[in-house]
């Protein structure tokens, strides 16, 4: 029997990447750590790809409809109906008044003979435009007032907090209907500042939502103002403006990004709800909410009229929510599941 060392039948050190040490992780920048965590979330990346796709669809809507060979979103063709006068479904065929064959687009047509595919594509532009503009205004107003309230405290905090409470106390739907009716005239309202159209929708969304952002920022600032780096800046004679925008604001970027990605799908749904009720959105505007409202009465006869804008709305909101969850986990690993 051999007394030497037994022959190794396997490699005790397989070719597997060693886990990163604490020093290697610490050497990474916050942006690198964020990107690394986000890349691990495959579902968030798929959702992000869909968000980019839907944004490109909205931006290049005229090009897409031109390539697809579909008419404009408001072009009406009453010949695109069945023998019973019902709108044609996806790929349906008919003849015009001269007997020439004509066909509906890939999503069919609505009750007025308008191409549903074109209206869904242009609807992405309307929904995203309202969502992004309103979200930007909410962040601007909410962050500014929230920082002021949390930093100065005292009577300033009390006054701004009471304003937030009053704004949150208004019934949003009644407020939206009231503003929509008041601004429905040719001259608009508020001295002509609010004209009938999407500006009314944006105004209602911002008015109803900014206090939520302000409350989040206020709570963060109340904690940050007690940190050592803020006290050090004060001892060095830094102005309040410098402390707020050079010391405190950079530490608010993560919660602002996370809540901003939550606001976008909320505002898309808000716009769709207001359009469904006929508030703010001009007649004929290819909005997903307005399309759902128009389709409600003929859903049994023309299922495609409600299905395609409904799916577009559902998938877009879901994608933004998944991206928001992924960003939150990447920015704050402690919240990851």
Distance, in Å, from the CA atom of 190 to the CA atom of 65, rounded to the nearest integer, reads: 37
Q: Where are the alpha helices (DSSP H) in 280-335?
A: 288-295, 303-331
Distance, in Å, from the CA atom of 309 to the CA atom of 267, rounded to the nearest integer, reads: 16
Distance, in Å, from the CA atom of 304 to the CA atom of 108, rounded to the nearest integer, reads: 7
Each of the 337 residues of the chain gets a pLDDT tens digit; together they read: 445 444 444 444 444 444 555 555 555 667 777 778 878 888 989 999 999 999 999 999 999 988 888 888 888 777 676 655 577 767 766 666 566 667 777 888 887 888 889 999 999 999 999 999 999 999 999 999 999 999 998 899 999 999 999 988 888 888 887 777 776 665 656 555 566 677 888 888 998 899 999 999 999 999 888 888 888 888 888 888 888 888 899 889 888 988 898 899 999 998 888 888 877 677 778 889 888 888 887 777 788 888 999 999 999 999 999 998 888 888 776 655 5
Cβ-contact 264, 133 below 8 angstroms: no
User: DSSP of 72-88, one letter per residue?
Assistant: -TT---TTSB-TTSPBP
Domains detected in the chain: 43-335 (1.10.3720.10)
Beta strand 93-95 pairing with 101-103? antiparallel
What's the pLDDT score for residue 17? Answer: 45
* DSSP for residue 248: I
At 306 the three-state DSSP class reads helix
102: which strand partners? 94
Closest listed residue to residue 184, CA positions, set 87, 37, 68, 282: 282
What's the pLDDT score for residue 162? Answer: 94
Provide the angle, in degrees to the nearest 10, between the axes of the packed helices 198-224 and 253-276: 150
What's the pLDDT score for residue 121? Answer: 94
């Amino acid at each position: 029997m051999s007394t030497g060392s037994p022959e190794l039948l396997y490699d005790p050190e397989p070719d597997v990447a060693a886990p990163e040490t604490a020093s290697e992780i610490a050497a990474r920048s916050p942006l690198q750590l964020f990107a690394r965590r986000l890349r691990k979330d495959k579902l968030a990346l798929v959702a992000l790809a869909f968000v980019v796709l839907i944004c490109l669809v909205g931006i290049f809507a005229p090009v897409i409809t031109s390539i697809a060979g579909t008419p404009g979103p408001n072009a009406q063709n009453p010949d695109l109906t069945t023998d019973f006068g019902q709108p044609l479904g996806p790929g349906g065929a008919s003849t015009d008044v001269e007997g020439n064959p004509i066909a509906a687009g890939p999503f069919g047509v609505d009750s007025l003979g308008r191409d549903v595919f074109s209206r869904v594509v242009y609807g992405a532009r309307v929904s995203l435009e309202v969502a992004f503009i309103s979200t930007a205004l909410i962040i601007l107003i909410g962050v500014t007032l929230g920082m002021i309230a949390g930093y100065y405290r005292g009577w300033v905090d009390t006054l701004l907090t009471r304003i937030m409470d009053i704004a949150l106390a208004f019934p949003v739907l009644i407020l939206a209907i009231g503003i929509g009716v008041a601004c429905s005239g040719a001259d608009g309202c508020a001295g002509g500042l609010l004209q009938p159209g999407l500006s009314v929708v944006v105004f209602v969304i911002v008015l109803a939502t900014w206090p939520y952002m302000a409350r989040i920022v206020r709570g963060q600032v109340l904690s940050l103002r007690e940190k050592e780096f803020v006290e050090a800046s004060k001892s060095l004679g830094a102005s309040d403006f410098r402390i707020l925008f050079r010391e405190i604001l950079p530490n608010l970027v993560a919660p602002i990004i996370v809540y901003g990605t939550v606001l976008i799908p909320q505002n898309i749904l808000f716009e769709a709800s207001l359009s469904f009720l006929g508030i703010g959105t001009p007649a004929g505007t290819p909005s997903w909410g307005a399309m759902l409202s128009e389709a409600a009465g003929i859903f049994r006869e023309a299922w495609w009229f409600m299905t395609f804008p409904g799916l577009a709305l559902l998938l877009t909101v879901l994608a933004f929510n998944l991206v928001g969850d992924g960003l939150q986990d990447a920015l704050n690993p402690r919240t990851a599941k």
